[in-house]
């Protein structure tokens, strides 16, 4: 019998704060913040009351544009306690993307930090909302964003026009607990409480509507698959604005009384220091993060013996990288998760006690309570084990839909409630799935279907190669040709011919990359997804392939 939790997100935190009151809840070593679960819940309640005092009410949409600062995770629970939908903004967004999201999401409040990497958020908001110059105490009005009423600054030295986040904490002191309790009593676990915008690897971002029930239960099942308990401590390196951070990390932790130890901005050295200092037992990341940690010059100086489990996900997990993580980082029970924002996000996960071969070669099997099937991409008919087709999922974790986009929703959720992922997969007779690529990323060369992942996995076995991405580029004769963008390990050299020679006789000739490019890094979304379409666009330009066929 699959266990489901019937808590709202705020109700869950109340429950955990009573069950594990003195357990470390949220720890930021660099900021000297160490909240027990009881203290963390108290802070979230205080902020929830401050939001009510500010006039933010159940059903409103508020956006947060920040990296992994403490206020982010506080707002995740504070907004949920009063039924306010938290709209997560990609940290890498620039002005046009920010304007689109604020407009499309109908957000009435924006919480933001000063800057992220090379983006000055305050200057960017001024571009979008020139009326900010005349704002006082965060109250704004602009015709192009009719819903936006206020802007709140997270951090010290508040810029002109903004309300500071600490003021909301103060305002909460004026609101009685009974007022908060009255709002909480009206909430339903199936209310939409979170809106995440798909990463934008294709087309305009869409607002994925997720409920308390989606997020609490997905987080719970993810944590169960890692055997999380109140003794575990998770180092969170992935961004909160994405489901990987807010669900696979935060909700998986809170549902089990596990300690959250976030790293604000990914840095491999900080991650290694944090794991050692806080004796973390779990670590999450996308493959490129684990590669950066493993290849850091000081890697061997750190004691990572406390590590046990975690998740490698976000993009296809190279087998060779997974093996090194198990062997060199002591992550003997690491799991892989497959999913997408539209499924809260987890659909399948490997288990800690799966044989290592299964944990490195598959993305596991359906999470408890989730149904998975593989269907023929032409006919939609269910396929038997061993046959490749589109992976579809159904269950408690499927989104309510895309915000204000019913036609787009109907394209991905069919009349029987199956979510069509757009990913190609093969399932074995025991339900374990291998993701073989995106339907749209399949390369068709002279009538041959080529799946980039197959070539990538082979090239990962070369001792000089650190990372590789394979994709199709236009070709007048064959329709498409295979191209590989290769990141070499530090201090080594390699030629294009060396790569082709390594492939000859090992993989079919038509799969051998015609084009090879050595690169330092890949264009990525802030959540760690490699944007192959950008690699393709760059290659078309550099190689002068615009006239070779359809370069779209």
- Residue 325 maps to a domain: no
- In three-state secondary structure terms, 195 is strand
Query: Which whole number is the average pLDDT over 460-479?
Result: 92
- Residue 242 maps to a domain: no
> Is a pLDDT exceeding 90 seen at residue 377?
no
Tokens for 226, please give them: 């890692």
Instruction: Give the chain's length.
Output: 552
- Residue 40 maps to which CATH number? 3.40.50.980
> Is a pLDDT exceeding 50 seen at residue 550?
no
pLDDT band at 200 (very low <50, low <70, confident <90, very high): very low
pLDDT band at 547 (very low <50, low <70, confident <90, very high): low
> Is a pLDDT exceeding 70 seen at residue 85?
yes
* The predicted structure's pLDDT at residue 551: 37
Residue 420, phi then psi, degrees to nearest 5: -95, 110
Query: Which whole number is the average pLDDT over 384-407?
Result: 97
Query: Which whole number is the average pLDDT over 320-339?
Result: 94
> Is a pLDDT exceeding 70 seen at residue 157?
yes
Distance CA 503, CA 293 (A): 28
- Residue 533 maps to a domain: yes
- Residue 537 maps to which CATH number? 3.30.300.30
> Is a pLDDT exceeding 80 seen at residue 202?
no
Counting Cα atoms < 13 Å in the Cβ hemisphere of 414 gives: 11
* The predicted structure's pLDDT at residue 314: 66
* The predicted structure's pLDDT at residue 316: 63
In the chain, the percentage of residues whose pLDDT exceeds 70 is 97
Query: Which whole number is the average pLDDT over 498-505?
Result: 93
Q: Which of 197, 216, 242 is the last residue of a domain?
A: 197
* The predicted structure's pLDDT at residue 453: 85
- Average pLDDT over the chain, rounded to an integer: 93
Query: Which whole number is the average pLDDT over 505-518?
Result: 90
In the chain, the percentage of residues whose pLDDT exceeds 90 is 81
- Residue 376 maps to a domain: no
- Residue 284 maps to a domain: no
pLDDT band at 451 (very low <50, low <70, confident <90, very high): confident
Out of 30-39, 63-72, 214-223, 309-318, which region has the weakest mean confidence (pLDDT)? 309-318
pLDDT tens, 409-439? 999 999 999 999 999 999 999 999 998 877 8
Q: Which of 175, 197, 219 is the last residue of a domain?
A: 197
Q: Is the dihedral of CA 160, 161, 165, 167 positive or negative?
A: positive
pLDDT band at 250 (very low <50, low <70, confident <90, very high): very high
Out of 303-307, 526-530, 536-540, which region has the weakest mean confidence (pLDDT)? 526-530
* The predicted structure's pLDDT at residue 315: 63
- Residue 480 maps to a domain: yes
* The predicted structure's pLDDT at residue 203: 54
* The predicted structure's pLDDT at residue 199: 56
* Count of the separate structural domains present in the chain: 2
Q: Which of 197, 217, 236 is the last residue of a domain?
A: 197
Most distant pair of Cα atoms in the chain: their distance: 74
pLDDT tens, 517-533? 999 999 987 777 888 88
- Of 544 and 319, which is predicted with more confidence? 544
Number of Cβ atoms within 10 Å of the Cβ of 214: 28
Query: Which whole number is the average pLDDT over 248-276?
Result: 98
Across 324-458, where does the E strand assignment appear?
333-339, 346-349, 365-366, 370-375, 389-395, 401-402, 419-427, 433-438, 443-445, 448-450
- Residue 416 maps to a domain: no
Query: Which whole number is the average pLDDT over 471-485?
Result: 90
Tokens for 277, please give them: 């200092």
Distance CA 107, CA 165 (A): 17
pLDDT tens, 209-241? 999 999 999 999 999 999 999 999 999 999 999
Domain enclosing residue 39, as ranges: 32-197
pLDDT band at 201 (very low <50, low <70, confident <90, very high): very low
Out of 300-309, 449-458, 491-500, which region has the weakest mean confidence (pLDDT)? 449-458
- Residue 348 maps to a domain: no
């Amino acid at each position: 019998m699959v266990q489901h939790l019937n808590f709202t997100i705020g109700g869950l935190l109340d429950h955990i704060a009573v069950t594990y009151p003195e357990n470390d809840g949220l720890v930021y070593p660099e900021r000297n913040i160490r909240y027990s679960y009881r203290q963390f819940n108290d802070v979230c309640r205080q902020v929830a009351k401050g939001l009510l005092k500010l006039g933010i009410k159940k059903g409103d949409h508020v956006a947060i544009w920040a990296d992994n600062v403490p206020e982010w995770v506080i707002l995740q629970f504070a907004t949920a306690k009063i039924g306010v939908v938290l709209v997560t903004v990609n940290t890498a967004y620039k002005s046009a993307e920010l304007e689109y999201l604020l407009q499309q999401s109908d957000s009435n409040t924006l919480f933001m930090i000063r800057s992220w990497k090379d983006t000055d958020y305050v200057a960017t908001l001024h571009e979008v909302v020139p009326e900010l110059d005349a704002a006082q105490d965060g109250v704004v009005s602009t015709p192009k964003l009719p819903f936006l009423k206020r802007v709140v600054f997270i951090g010290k030295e508040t810029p002109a026009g903004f309300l500071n986040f600490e003021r909301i904490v103060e305002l909460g002191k004026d609101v009685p607990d009974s007022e908060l309790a009255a709002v909480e009593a009206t909430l339903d676990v199936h209310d939409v409480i979170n809106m995440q915008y798909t990463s934008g690897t294709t087309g305009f971002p869409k607002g994925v509507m997720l409920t308390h029930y989606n997020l609490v239960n997905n987080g719970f099942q993810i944590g169960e698959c890692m055997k999380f308990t109140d003794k575990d401590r998770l180092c969170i390196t992935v961004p909160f604005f994405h489901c990987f951070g807010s669900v696979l990390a935060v909700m998986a932790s809170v549902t089990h009384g596990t300690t959250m130890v976030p790293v604000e901005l990914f840095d491999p050295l900080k991650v290694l220091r944090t794991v050692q200092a806080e004796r973390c037992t779990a670590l999450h990341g996308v493959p490129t993060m684990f590669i950066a940690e493993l290849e850091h010059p000081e890697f061997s100086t750190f004691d990572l013996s406390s590590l046990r489990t975690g998740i490698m996900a976000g993009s296809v997990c190279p087998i060779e990288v997974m093996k090194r993580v198990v062997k060199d980082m002591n992550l003997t029970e690491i799991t892989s998760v497959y999913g997408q924002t539209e499924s809260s996000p987890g659909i399948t996960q490997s288990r800690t006690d799966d044989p290592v071969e299964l944990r490195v070669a598959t993305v596991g099997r359906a999470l408890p309570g989730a149904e998975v099937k593989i269907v023929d991409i032409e006919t939609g008919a269910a396929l038997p084990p061993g046959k490749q087709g589109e992976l579809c999922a159904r269950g408690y974790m499927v989104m309510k839909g895309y915000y204000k986009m019913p036609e787009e929703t109907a394209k991905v959720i069919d009349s029987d409630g199956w979510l069509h992922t757009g990913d190609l997969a093969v399932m074995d007779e025991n339900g374990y799935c291998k993701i073989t690529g995106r339907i749209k990323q399949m390369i068709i060369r002279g009538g041959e279907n080529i799946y980039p992942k197959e070539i990538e996995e082979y090239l990962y076995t070369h001792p000089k190669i650190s990372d590789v991405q394979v994709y199709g580029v236009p070709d007048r004769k064959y329709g498409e040709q295979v191209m590989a963008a290769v990141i070499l390990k530090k201090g080594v050299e390699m030629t294009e011919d060396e790569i082709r020679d390594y492939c000859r006789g090992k993989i079919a000739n038509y799969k051998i990359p015609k084009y090879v490019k050595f690169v330092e890094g890949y264009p990525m979304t802030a959540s760690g997804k490699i944007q192959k379409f950008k690699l393709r666009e760059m290659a078309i330009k550099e190689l002068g392939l615009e006239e070779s066929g359809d370069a779209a």
